[in-house]
Chains A and B, each alone.
Chain A
Amino acid sequence: DAGITQSPRHKVTETGTPVTLRCHQTENHRYMYWYRQDPGHGLRLIHYSYGVKDTDKGEVSDGYSVSRSKTEDFLLTLESATSSQTSVYFCAIYGYTFGSGTRLTVV
C-alpha cells in the first residue's frame, strides 16, 4: 500500500485504561496527522506533526496526546480511555494519503 501502516487494526479496551495507537510511514514525509471519524462528523483532526518532536493540536485534541521521536513514527495516546473516544482513527501523511484505520472500542 501507500507506505503508511497503522497498528493495531482493531482494539477493545476498558474505560480508564491507557491506549496507544501507532502510525508508521516509509515515505519520509515531514507532516503526519491523526484524525478520528464518527458518523455525522466526517473526519476531525486530533493532532498533527510537522517534524520530529514538533506537534500541534487539532480540532478535538482533549484527552489525546501524541509523540514523534522519529520521522517514520507518530503515536497517538489516550491517557485514560472514555466511551466517547470509541471511534475509527486514521493516520495520514502530507494530507493526501490515509492509513487503513484503527477501530477502537472503549467499553
Chain B
Amino acid sequence: GENVEQHPSTLSVQEGDSAVIKCTYSDSASNYFPWYKQELGKRPQLIIDIRSNVGEKKDQRIAVTLNKTAKHFSLHITETQPEDSAVYFCAASRDSSYKLIFGSGTRLLVRP
C-alpha cells in the first residue's frame, strides 16, 4: 500500500539556523504533497504544498522541494524562530479526492 516515511523524528536547532525535514513516498502515482504544522494540543494546519509539475515552491522562510524521480520531497525552514517549534507532518496523495497519507511527524525544537 501507499507509504510515506519521514525523517528525522526529532530535530533541535539553534534560533536563526535552518531546518530540513525529508520525506519519501512509495506510490509513484502521487502528485500532491502538502506539509502541516501542528502545535501542542491544536489541529494540523497546512503551511505549504507542492504539486508534481513543480520542483520547488517558496513562501517567505519556508520552501518545499520535490524530486519525483527519487520519490522524495523536503521542507526547508530558514532563519528559524522559537515559534517554529512544533510537530511537522508531510503527506502525499495520488488523486483529486485528496485522500492524504501522512508521514509519522518531526518534532522541531528551536532553541533561543
Contacts and interface: CB of A to CB of B under 8 A. Distances in A.
* A and B interact physically: yes
Interface stretch (B11-19, B51-59, B71-79, B102-110): B102-110
A88 to B, nearest CB: 9
Given A59-B1, A99-B43, A48 B89 contact: no
Contact of B103 (A42, A50, A100): A42
B17 to A, nearest CB: 25
A33 interface: yes
Interface residues of B, number: 20
A49 B94 CA distance: 16
B104 A40 contact: yes
B61 interface: no
Interface string B73-111: 000000000000000010101000111111111000000
- The prevalent SS among residues of B at the interface is loop
Interface of A: 31, 33, 35, 40-45, 48, 50, 58-59, 90, 94-101
Interface of B: 1, 6, 34, 42-46, 89, 91, 93, 97-105
22 contacts: A31-B97, A31-B98, A33-B100, A41-B104, A42-B6, A42-B89, A42-B103, A42-B105, A43-B44, A43-B91, A43-B102, A45-B100, A50-B97, A58-B99, A59-B1, A95-B93, A95-B97, A95-B98, A98-B44, A99-B43, A100-B43, A101-B43
